[in-house]
Amino acid sequence: MIKRLLIVVAAIATALTTALAQPNSQTQQIAKFVSGNTNIQVQFYSPSIVRVLKTPVNKPYSPKSLVVIREPEKTPVKIHRNGDLFIMASSAIKVMVNNKSGRIAFYNAAGKQLLIDSTTSFLPKDDAGKPSYTVKGSFVLQSKEPIYGIGQIMDNKFNRRGSSLQLKNENMSTYSPYFMSVLGYGVYWDNYSISNFTDKPGELAFESLGHCADYYFMYGGNADGVIKQVRKLSGQAPMLPLWAYGFFQSRERYKTQDESINVLKKYRELRVPIDVIIQDWRYWPEYKGTDSAWNSQLFDTERFPRPKQWVDEIHKLNAKLMIVTWPGFGPKTDQRKELDSKNMIINFDTWPPNSGARPYDVYNPAALDIYWKYLNKRIFSYLGNDGWWLDSTEPDHINVKDADFDLPTHLGSYRSVKNAFSFMHNGGIATHQKQTSKNKRVVLLTRSGFIGQQRFGSNTWSGDVTSSWDMLQKQIPAALNYTLMGIPNWNSDIGGFFAGGWNDGGGAKNPGFQELYLRWMQFGAFCPMMRSHGTDIPREIYNFGKPGDWCFDGQQKMINLRYRLLPYNYSTAWDVSKNDGTFMRPLIMDFAADSACYEIGNEYLFGRSLLVSPVTKPDVKNWPVYLPKGADWLDFWTGEKLNGGQTINKEVPKDIIPVYVKAGSILPWGPAVQYTGEKAWDNLELRIYPGANGSFNFYEDEKDNYNYEKGFYSTIEFHWDDANKQLTIGARKGKFPGMISLRRFKISVVKPGMNIGMGDNNTVKTVEYTGKKLIVKI
């Protein structure tokens, strides 16, 4: 009979015997067990987070997490024993370990069972010549319990029950071994290898390469609470600069410095707002007509003869510049030569084909230093660009051979750490830039991601997706599941990347592509980053027509709407950073009590007030929208008030996306501008959507530096009392250099038939505000 031993950490045998004999209140946060051939350690990191670590007996292993940066906090834990059951309880959760079977059950404080960890197996596995294991952890969920997360998956599913997936980060597929339940808990399996996730009746399982099973159980009570715990473990999302919420224009690619300057000038001439121009690949010199100098981070002297002047001119046009940089280097680059000499290259071929380019070892801290050394000297400190486009961060793998995954990295075989490539690459650049300058917030646009990447200011895009209605539809549930991993910033190429199939009909003049592009732009206006990009067909607004043409006007309308929502979006960004909020909020976040929301992945709340239902099919006159139970809703465009708990058919001419505002919302409406910093917010409209009480926390700071981390910002709390038709504008809290001392608020209460939507002239009362509390009767 196998001997099973229970050990409480830091206790000698006599103390252990006493503790088990007297099940009273104790403060131990760690318990260790031996069950069969497995060592089990259960540790409370906080009242709401428990770490479980399992290893084979006589094979101790102490992993150091790349993702988890939180140290365990002192947590009162009550411990007692009931036969074979060992019970540890905090104020939020209870963990029950069966000392015979090793089975672990998790409960909330009220005693409701949430999850069972049923079995863990270790199958010996050769890992590039070193002994390791295929580790499988199996869990039992309730039979009809919806779960979400896992990553950005292009299969048009929202609820991930019944999924069977290989977790291998590639272009368009971005995974993390994590799921969240509608019951208010989440599980992060702390492993970076190519893994498998399977959910079938009676078993949800992760299967990975490694030396241990290491996971975190997090209880938050609801989706917001789980995301808060994820960020407590892996880091908060920093504030992005205000300009990051403007409009981005890109293409594959601007070939000269004059070409991108002329694009900006054309936008300014047409009075279409824009904040960012992006420089894609091959701005660097070629080497004898080849790509062997790929990603040298130098500028071709013929096409970009005066790069500093180029960047300065972009800034004079009141725009920002984002520049692409890749993780792979051609063999003729200085970076490659230095990295090769120090064994800091992973020796497989990456993009572009036949170039000899290979990725650097992002897992090596010294390699991250070298990468930044060149990037800083040749671009950031020299040119003063504003953000980075980090392409191919999976990275691309050309002529794939299974042996490539056995290649060594600083942290082990490439197979064992592949999924963390983007995380490490983003982290290296973000950390180095912030150490170099506190005057520019880090902005990263990246093609892949991993849980925890939110702490680097990363904004993941969905990859090189095709320009099709089917792909547009798939973007929405993919984005929602991705953001439920705690990473708030996501976007896609507006119009899709590969658009060659539309060229036969006239490209940007093809009415079919125009409709797809406009509908995609409507979706993009309600994403954390609004960015036009693609190949085959240039996407600048003037390629689609001229003012007065339906496609041009429809685009301009959406871009203008994006800029009018800047005060709302920037305040939402503060909610994301300060309160662990989420930009793209699946309906299950705010309406978990409404089971009709469990499978709805094609609409969402943008911030806490705006319900968005993008149109994802061509030639439709009406679009079905489910309005969740538990709130009343007002049509953003018409003011019509509707009850929740019903599906309505919204009339959707090509220039209208269904948007509904939750009753009780207070929406700060910004001025019409051509770029984010053009006008001060000293004369804002406050749109009140009646039908319930509500509040909004209005945030301001210096817009683009890290002084907010030192407390240099201000907030104003608005509160609407619906019964008394009274708006309270709270006393301003905080201050920062350049803060507006006197401002006007134009207050409007939305009613059916009003000139709302994009209209102004809704004011029913104007008040002056000096920072002191005001009560306004409507």
Alpha carbon of 648 to those of 90, 181, 610, 653, 690: distances in Å? 45, 28, 16, 16, 20
What is the bridge-based pairing of β-strands 164-167 and 195-200? antiparallel
391 included as an active-site residue? yes
304 touches 310 (CB < 8 A) = yes
**Helix (H/G/I), strand (E/B), else coil: 439:** coil
Distance CA 575, CA 691 (A): 24
Structure tokens at 212: 């241990």
Structure tokens at 54: 């399992």
Alpha carbon of 709 to those of 115, 385, 701: distances in Å? 38, 22, 10
DSSP assignment letter at 156: S
**Chain centroid offset of residue 203 CA:** 28
**Helix (H/G/I), strand (E/B), else coil: 557:** helix
Say which of 190, 280, 300, 391 is annotated catalytic: 391
Find the helix or strand (DSSP H, E) in which 381 lies. helix 381-383
DSSP assignment letter at 242: G
Instruction: Report CA torsion sign: 470, 475, 480, 484.
Output: positive
Helix axes of 307-316 and 257-270: crossing angle, nearest 10 degrees: 10
Q: Report the first-to-last Cα separation within the chain, whole angstroms.
A: 78
**Helix (H/G/I), strand (E/B), else coil: 608:** coil
Over the Cα atoms of the chain, what is R_g?
27
328 touches 291 (CB < 8 A) = no
Distance CA 68, CA 54 (A): 17
Question: Where in 360-469 does DSSP place strands (E)?
Answer: 387-390, 408-409, 412-413, 444-446, 458-461
575 included as an active-site residue? no
486 touches 456 (CB < 8 A) = no
**Helices vs strands, H then E, count in the chain:** 14, 47
Residues 6+ away with beta carbon under 8 Å from 595: none
For the stretch 744-758, what's the b/e string if a residue is b when 16 or more beta carbons lie within 10 angstroms of its beta carbon? ebbbbbbeeeeebee
Distance CA 565, CA 191 (A): 39
Structure tokens at 421: 């490539």
Say which of 207, 291, 313, 394 is annotated catalytic: 394
Residues 6+ away with beta carbon under 8 Å from 221: 108, 184
**Helix (H/G/I), strand (E/B), else coil: 194:** coil
300 included as an active-site residue? no
Say which of 286, 464, 702, 722 is annotated catalytic: 464
Q: Which residues are catalytic?
A: 391, 394, 464
